[in-house]
Structure 1
């Protein structure tokens, strides 16, 4: 007789299904196809098949419930082709659930695979869901999932002047909280009237990937194709504001590559290696972005995170920018026709980083100015952490 395999880790959807909180409830689910259990079954399928409750509608974030829309593309609401229930878009005509939708529900469940990085807009959607639910008195339960960097606090805090959908919460750019922890923090600091409960993960610590018995990786958005892309996203997302410098979005390694027609792989890799950044190494890498083929391949670099526990992604990203300017000239980086300085500042949540880099301020000096804000945030954040750091 075979022994029953004991699952050591369970995502929040398992806690939710075991809790009985949904029994007899008419539910709406904010989710996508990346939210899966250990067998790869989506949370939407699990809830749809649960006979104790009724899944009345779905709501999809940026990229849509099916996760295929490109970054920034508006998604249309539709009906599920098999279940014949509404799929309301939260990245189209509205980004905040309409009161009319919520008033038809007894409970809203949020189950999103997030990255714990402020520009990754699922946290913005979470905030707006909590706000709308508070306004209608609709209870919300957040089913929790791991994030790539659960211990890491990095990058500038949000300057309120630069609040936007890619910088919607007053936290550092990388804030080291899971979706449920973030929801508890948002309830306490911004949305106290929301009726919130959380479904925590089981047998999870703040140890980093890989997690034993973790669900299979499913892309949470079209360009987060791997765990490695997820780790590098906070380092290179700022290059969305510098479209003349490629960051691999159209390649098989999105957010892991940096290159341009004028970069040279070995000198750039050597210069980045000489910076002695923690938890990351840089390799010379030749590649051809599909939108530029068949032109000469870019001679760039590939980023490899070797120790997520000490990796500082935002520091890494601004160091790459500082090094590019040092090797190839400031104008090559910052004085180009297609530069999007306003969007760069929105992604960083401040204009201070860009202005300091333009002034040739060292990345370590820029990062040192984040320290006071980090200490305050870390103290505040500690009250909402659900999981301990497992010690060796």
Structure 2
């Protein structure tokens, strides 16, 4: 009876997928069950997932369990399985009620160790990314790739569209500044899906062990890089909608300054502010809440600039950063975190020297041009 139910569920998923294809809806890799289920049958499966790992409205984990796939380990990135844990906050689990072990890949345990990888036959990775170097889900993917390569465990990436995948921009990481918010020599906006980036990491020899993982990428269907993609769920607590996601590449750099980016409000990454900002035309008060515990300037009125209510514009600019620095006119505007986010020692110096955005862009253009050339060979969704 159980096998019959599993077959019916699988057929239902297949029929649903066929109907959606006919309507040319964008289908992330997880929907292509017919391509990866045969690779999982009869094996001990590990999954690296969070709340964004969906097939329609059903979580991938639930689908796998219903289809009699033996999931023994579930790994989760920053923000946890539910995607509601604040940035930087430690994630802990009591997995005693689950038939699988739930393991956080954040804090001190960023990479699965040999004990956590023990007895696994194959690993699935399915997490929605937003296409920036400092968004840590791709760093978690890197460490999962390394762990799989070291143990000889095949890795399947269930690809998802990149909402910022239509362009490439920003300085390329200086590897002397390598950190969890920047692990690869790529620009701030890399214009690749997690599947494409995984192929680049693997083939360029960027895994620390020097060896490669046995990698399979299950592609998106009906999507190309030039297509807009509105995420069905918030990828993390402080990226509530398309506008925040489009502004994130530019405004995240403010996390390395004295300015607030609106954490603890309904419009994170749609506004910037500081209690002493001289422009009082826009204001907001950060509050501690789920997904934004103890935000900067908690319960203090901040004044600054707003993009709330504007149309998403997918591009990268440092002009707001230059303007805010000149407006605040403070020696302590930048903090030590800024260089890691920017991925270069030059950007802070250039802004402090009063260089224009055009002049600054010219300095990173040669490396950016080289990256764009390298990127082309890994693209799966050419227009």
Paired residues for 1:1-392 under 5 Å: 6-8=22-24, 9-19=26-36, 20-38=38-56, 40-51=57-68, 53-79=69-95, 81=97, 83-190=98-205, 191=207, 192-210=211-229, 217-242=232-257, 244-263=258-277, 265=279, 285-290=282-287, 296=301, 298-302=303-307, 306=311, 308=313, 311-313=314-316, 316=317, 318-329=318-329, 331=330, 334-335=331-332, 339-340=334-335, 342-389=336-383
Describe the shift of the 1:347–1:312 C-alpha distance in structure 2 as closer, same or farther (beyond 3 A).
same
Classify the secondary structure of the residue corresponding to 1:21.
Answer: helix
Asked if the contact 2:32–2:218 (Cα under 8 Å) also holds between the matched residues in 1, the reply is yes
TM-score calculated relative to the size of structure 2: 0.85
Map Cα deviations across residues 352-376 of structure 1 (whole Å, 9 max, x no partner). Answer: 1011111111122111111111111
Asked if the contact 2:161–2:229 (Cα under 8 Å) also holds between the matched residues in 1, the reply is no
Q: Distance in 1 between matches of 2:363 and 2:310?
A: 24
The Cα of 1:13 is off from its aligned counterpart by 0.7
Q: Distance in 2 between matches of 1:171 and 1:59?
A: 25
Q: Distance in 2 between matches of 1:16 and 1:102?
A: 24
Asked if the contact 1:263–1:300 (Cα under 8 Å) also holds between the matched residues in 2, the reply is no
Asked if the contact 1:285–1:302 (Cα under 8 Å) also holds between the matched residues in 2, the reply is no
Map Cα deviations across residues 184-215 of structure 1 (whole Å, 9 max, x no partner). Answer: 1111012452100111111111133246xxxx
Asked if the contact 2:273–2:304 (Cα under 8 Å) also holds between the matched residues in 1, the reply is yes
The Cα of 1:130 is off from its aligned counterpart by 0.7
- What is the number of equivalent residue pairs in this alignment? 351
Moved more, 130-139 or 289-298: 289-298
TM-score calculated relative to the size of structure 1: 0.83
Asked if the contact 1:206–1:387 (Cα under 8 Å) also holds between the matched residues in 2, the reply is yes
Asked if the contact 1:248–1:257 (Cα under 8 Å) also holds between the matched residues in 2, the reply is yes
Any gaps of 5 or more consecutive residues in structure 1?
267-283
The Cα of 1:293 is off from its aligned counterpart by 7.4
RMSD of Structure 2 on Structure 1 (CA) = 2.3
Q: Distance in 1 between matches of 2:88 and 2:19?
A: 45
Classify the secondary structure of the residue corresponding to 1:79.
Answer: coil
